[in-house]
Structure 1
């Protein structure tokens, strides 16, 4: 058996999106939704490999509940998403 040292308190770095003056309130629902829409717009215009699009994905992944993302992904797949994605 190998002896492996495991730190008692491993540091975890948490990040979220920076302040956006378009969404100054505590409720970040609109910021979540807009980041989701912006990510889809960006990837459709520039392609999935365009790294600046990852900013929007990071934002919606950190701000939006997973259930919303799953619902929106289903709506996009079924061509019934209510937002305007080019």
Structure 2
């Protein structure tokens, strides 16, 4: 079995997530977006390698429309993002 970094590198598409069993993956997209930034925030505070968070980023980038991600990024930068990170 490979390392976590190898799994992230070889990532192709979002795997099944039992938390989101329905065809509509909107919630899965949003949750992985939040998880990516929460992971980064948590590891940054501890001085840990934030590349471990890349899994969440790859998942949300494969599930979310680019327009949503762009809007959320703009909202985060402006301090108006509704999600709790």
TM-score normalised over the length of structure 2: 0.79
Deviation at 1:49, TM superposition (A): 4.2
1:80 partnered with 2:80: yes
Stretches of structure 1 that go unaligned for 5 or more consecutive residues are 1-13
Give 1:45 shift: 1.0
Q: Which residue of 1 aligns with 2:57?
A: 57
- Residue matched to 2:3: none
Structure 2 unaligned segments of length 5 or more: list them: 1-10
| Residue of structure 1 aligned with 2:24, choices 19, 23, 27 | 27
Deviations 1:22-62 (A, max 9, x none): 00000000000000000000011113942220000000000
Query: Which residue of structure 1 lines up, in the alignment, with residue 66 of structure 2?
Result: 66
Instruction: Look up the match of 2:4.
Output: none
**Bigger mean CA deviation after superposition, 45-54 or 59-68:** 45-54
The answer to whether structure 1 residue 37 and structure 2 residue 34 are counterparts is yes
Q: 2:70 aligns to what SS in structure 1?
A: helix
When normalised by structure 1's length, the TM-score is 0.78
